[in-house]
Amino acid sequence: MVTTRVIVNDLKLNMKIGDVEYPGDARKATFYYTADDRVDFRELIRLFAREFKVRIEMRQMGSTRSPTHWRHWHSADANCALVVANRF
């Protein structure tokens, strides 16, 4: 996460990386972010792909002015973890 935030800051992009998801096969990484306006990802995706050596997918999770969106995301994630934990 630290590396992704450093790259975003170096490119001076107006966005925040909130979460990263790597599926089991480790061939792709999904980056969840917030941004108030449109963001040009072309250079960012090239740098992420070079750094992490995986296919990159970007998913917007609301704007940086909407903290409730992140609370909902993390709440849903926590509930999912509880369901998985209770199955075992």
Tell me, what's the pLDDT at 56?
93
List pLDDT tens digits, range 19-46.
899 888 878 999 999 998 888 889 999 9
Find, among 65, 75, 67, the residue nearest to 35 by Cα: 65
List pLDDT tens digits, range 41-53.
899 999 999 999 9
Query: How many CB atoms lie under 10 A from the CB of residue 13?
Result: 17
Q: Is the dihedral of CA 5, 11, 12, 18 positive or negative?
A: negative
For the stretch 42-70, what's the b/e string if a residue is b when 16 or more beta carbons lie within 10 angstroms of its beta carbon?
eebeebbeeebebebebeebbebeeeebb
